[in-house]
Chain A
Amino acid sequence: MRAAAWITLGLLGLTTAPAAARVEGPVFPPPPAEPRLVFEESLRDDDGYRGPRSLLGRIADVLTGSGESAAMVRPHGLACDGPLLLIADPDAGVVHLFDRDKHTYRRLPRDGRLASPVDAAVDADGRIWVADSAAGALVVFDREGREQARYTDGIERPAGLAWDRASGRLYVADPVAHRVAVLDAQGRLLDAFGARGETDGAFNFPVDVCLDPQGGVWVLDALNFRVCALAPDGAFLSSFGAQGDAPGAFARPRGLACDADGHLWISDALQDGVQVFDDEGRLLMAFGTQGQADGEFWMPAGVAFDDRANLYVADAYNRRVQVFRYLGDAEGGRP
């Protein structure tokens, strides 16, 4: 069992790191354990994401105001779509949209601001869905940042979003309604799972939702201090997690993402770190401490993976998104 191997390595500290990984920033777990995650960079603003600009273009930026600062205020939920990284920033009232290939930056909406954008997700047509928690609405934008639609059907206060593009279903964690709503691409409520409680299938402030590679639904049930696995139709499958400050327990779980290996990466705003579990709830790794240096966090929020094994963690009070390279579960290779 590979998962068990991670823990054993950490427990005994007996292995030596393979020579393969040449690393720039902090690595996790720290040596002598085999590195699984490498710090790459921190994104704080659109520095380096303005694209190649002529002098005239830059002057035009200043004159038209499109050269305005894109500094992050308090990044929260994250989403990836190919090279696109979306960063919901409720205090800025915008979603920052970075193209990591073209190195371009855009913000949604193009003009003005949303009340409290806390998460984003991209549907099969490339439209960007934004959870505006304070407005109690899902706001849909095109890639240019033009508002296309606004949906409130079945939504009380949306928090985490996850699009299942194959089935055309959007899962919406609604903490105040204590349920997960399912919408179609027209914003119509298809289904809703859960009610407030502690039992299997119930939720107590579910704040985030993600999908595993098989389409299984994972819900971060924050104040039950657990993660719940659901079938796509909402049937309860399993849950793990307990409240506490020990490794493997949750204090203020906030963001949830699933990698290509089916591992669950869960940020915790009080632990100032991220814990990684396999799908049976076994702790594989934990990283992060309170601080401002690379690999340290202050109120981490959303986590997301892109399709090239980069992990993004919204480091809310440090006003940045930290980027890590996931080295994968296979020996020395990427997933």
Chain B
Amino acid sequence: MTRLHHLAAAVFVLTAATASASIVDTVHNLSTSGPGTIKAVSEDRVCVFCHTPHNASAAAQLWNRADPAGPHTPYTSSTMNAAPGQPTGSSRLCLSCHDGTIALGATLTEDAIAMAGGVTTMPPGTANLGTGLHDDHPVSFIYDPALAIADGQLADPAGLTGEVRLDAAGELQCTSCHDPHDDTYGDFLVLPPTDDALCSTCHDRTGWTGATHNLAFPGAPSPNACANCHDPHTAGGSARLTSSNVEELVCLTCHYSSGIATDIDSEVAKPSSHPVSLAMGVHDPNEALPVAQLHVECVDCHNPHAANGAAAPPPFVDGPLEGVRGVDGDGSAVVEATYEYEVCYKCHADSPGVPGPASPRQIVQNNTRLEFDPGNPSFHPIEAPGANGNVPSLLAGWTTASVIGCTDCHNNNEGPMAGGAGPNGPHGSSYANLLGWNYRTSSGAESAGAFELCYRCHSRTSILNDDSFPHHYRHIVEERASCNMCHDPHGISASQGDGTNNTHLINFDLTYVQPEIISGDLFFEDRGVERGSCTLRCHGENHRDESY
């Protein structure tokens, strides 16, 4: 894209800003009396460039210009229900100058009208759309009630009786948004481009009324409205007319360190992150779920038309996750996630190539959804309260009936939940596996900081006091073990574990826990409340049916 070099267009645009209700005072007046820089050398008739009273073209409007040959590349998008083909109707008339293929002075009835400065076709710049209309708002499609219903976020066309209108064939054309004879609002728009008025005549985005991006400015909506992220013409992102073809840049160019919006740019640069800059052109809003090719973009988790600041208790989605698709606990796609984990399951459940466990486990399960299934012998209470009714270590505020969110563990280490001033959510963390708090998995001295993550809910005092398992203190303090060596924090799937060997999140980390040396056995056996037995080898010691 070399549009920045097109100085000529700058002149055109600067002049176009001069608003007027009469075509005579607009840049569409190409005669010698026109106010723009693109005008005829000597032709002083205003209308002749487009219209003629006699011998007009077969098109309507007494058209005085040839029909652009095309073909034009129409706009396409996987989420569009309309079917724009080759331009029709009045849009062809506009394109007879604005696709840059026909000289501005080439009319049907006159010899070529000479233009000042040797200009022939539309000079490069934003007014020259080219024949590629893929990066422009679609035109020349039937906009009927069936389309509005199929899309679900379009106004009923029966209401288009004001400034924005369809043509006689019921098609949306350039003239729906532009009036070539009236430049009152600039860019020949039929309504002011500010305050959403123009776009929202047709576009009725679910959730937009309460969305932060709508309400960001006092006296909402934002005066720049849709144009903050979308360009109706020559959009960098083509599909969905986003302002950049690099998905995350649409977001991160405001969400950066200067404080215009929450600084996510710095978050995704952290050592552990959802790396939105790695994939480009992979994400599609209509992609099948669970995601088939792993990737992450801002819009995988956020709906910029609906996201807001509302808080919600686990397991429900909070405002920032409102209106995004998900995968439910059964592995089925849902149109709008109700629970936070459904957003995570889009990628962290049934998708091929999903990362394996961070520690080498006795039982390996890469599918996070199966790890948290409420039918499991044990699991952290993400989808439902946990299986174990006896957890004496739980701190005030938590009970065995509690559920938690994925973000109770996976979050920003400098976010509000961690006592910091940074943004909430698992965008990035200084701790591995996008954990918001320290979680030492190796051998070492016990401290409040070593297992900061676990001690958020599980009382350090209770654990080290051996309130539940009577040998916690001996393992954690004396033998310098990590919680992670015996416990698998997500859970053990019902298809792999059972209610005898895998209660209490027991799934050994094979880095530290090996089979008992004589029998080759490695298991824990649940023998009732706070009773059990282990057969394994750890820290150099052989345990055979070591019971408590």
Contact = CB atoms under 8 A, between A and B. Distances in A.
Report whether chain A binds chain B.
yes
A133 B260 CA distance: 11
A196 B223 CA distance: 13
Which of A157, A243, A246 counts the most B-chain CB atoms under 10 A from its CB? A246
A86 interface: no
A244 B227 contact: yes
A326 B252 CA distance: 30
Given A246-B13, A289-B4, A225 B224 contact: yes
Interface in B384-440: 421-422
Interface in B245-264: 246, 249-250, 252-254, 256-260, 263
Given A247-B13, A299-B249, A12 B117 contact: yes
Interface in B31-60: 37
A232 B126 CA distance: 37
A196 B217 CA distance: 9
A270 B251 CA distance: 10
Interface string A51-69: 0000000000000000000
A247 B244 contact: no
Contact of B257 (A90, A246, A282, A287): A90
A223 B218 CA distance: 13
Among B11, B37, B235, B250, chain A packs the most CB atoms within 10 A around the CB of B11
Interface string A206-224: 0100000000000000110
A245 B231 contact: yes
A230 B258 CA distance: 21
**What DSSP secondary structure best describes chain A's contact surface?**
loop
Given A91-B269, A252-B253, A11 B4 contact: no
Contacts of A223: 224, 228, 254, 260
Given A134-B421, A248-B14, A207 B258 contact: yes
Contact of A29 (B1, B7, B231, B260): B7
Contact of A283 (B10, B231, B265, B277): B10
Given A7-B11, A134-B257, A283-B10, A270 B236 contact: yes
A222 B125 contact: no
B6 interface: yes
Contacts of A225: 224
Contacts of B252: 299
B17 A242 contact: yes
Contact of A247 (B3, B118, B258): B3
B428 to A, nearest CB: 11
A288 B4 contact: yes
B269 A74 contact: yes
B21 interface: no
B4 A287 contact: yes
B367 interface: no
Contacts of B10: 7, 246-248, 283, 286
A290 interface: yes
A247 B259 contact: no
Q: Which of A133, A248, A288 has the most CB of B within 10 A?
A: A248
A274 to B, nearest CB: 9
A175 B7 contact: no
A275 interface: yes
Nearest to A208: B258
B183 to A, nearest CB: 15
B269 A73 contact: yes
A247 B263 CA distance: 28
Given A175-B260, A270-B236, A247 B249 contact: no
Contact of B9 (A205, A246, A287, A317): A246
Contacts of B228: 223, 243
Contact of A118 (B8, B235, B246, B258): B258
B243 A270 contact: yes
Contacts of A275: 4
Contacts of B223: 198
Contact of B125 (A134, A247, A273): A247
A133 B421 CA distance: 12
Interface in A37-87: 73-74, 76
Contacts of B263: 116, 133-134
A310 interface: no
Contact of A252 (B8, B218, B254, B422): B254
A282 to B, nearest CB: 8
Contact of B1 (A133, A207, A290): A290
B269 A133 contact: no
A196 B218 contact: yes
B482 interface: no
A116 B9 CA distance: 39
Interface in A162-197: 175-176, 196-197
B5 A286 contact: yes
Nearest to B218: A196
A11 B269 CA distance: 41
Chain A interface bracket (under 10, 10 to 19, 20 to 34, 35 or more): 35 or more
Interface in A1-45: 7, 10-12, 29-30
A322 interface: no
B459 to A, nearest CB: 32
A204 interface: yes
Contact of A91 (B17, B259, B266): B266
A239 interface: no
B234 interface: yes
Nearest to B9: A247
A159 interface: yes
Contact of A175 (B236, B258, B266): B258
A225 B537 CA distance: 66
B296 to A, nearest CB: 17
Nearest to B126: A246
Contact of B253 (A29, A246, A269, A287): A269
A318 interface: no
Interface string A247-281: 11101101000000000000001110101000000
B4 A157 contact: no
The CB with the most chain A CB atoms within 10 A, among B7, B244, B265, is that of B7
A254 to B, nearest CB: 8
A12 B38 CA distance: 12
B218 to A, nearest CB: 6
Contacts of B286: none
A121 interface: no
A201 to B, nearest CB: 16
B8 A11 contact: yes
A271 B4 contact: yes
B2 interface: yes
Contacts of B277: 317
By Cβ-Cβ distance, the 6 closest A-B pairs, closest first, are A10-B7, A252-B253, A286-B4, A247-B10, A157-B259, A159-B258
Interface of B: 1-11, 13-14, 17, 37, 117-118, 123, 125-126, 217-218, 223-224, 227-228, 231, 234-236, 243-244, 246, 249-250, 252-254, 256-260, 263, 265-266, 269, 277, 421-422
17 contacts: A11-B7, A29-B7, A73-B269, A116-B266, A118-B258, A159-B257, A175-B259, A196-B218, A245-B126, A246-B3, A246-B9, A248-B13, A270-B249, A270-B250, A271-B4, A275-B4, A299-B253
Given A157-B258, A157-B259, A289-B4, 18 more contacts: A74-B265, A90-B257, A134-B257, A134-B263, A205-B259, A223-B228, A223-B260, A243-B228, A244-B13, A245-B234, A247-B6, A247-B7, A248-B10, A248-B14, A252-B253, A254-B253, A283-B7, A287-B4
Interface of A: 7, 10-12, 29-30, 73-74, 76, 90-91, 116, 118, 133-134, 157, 159, 175-176, 196-198, 204-205, 207, 222-223, 225, 242-249, 251-252, 254, 269-271, 273, 275, 282-283, 285-290, 299, 317
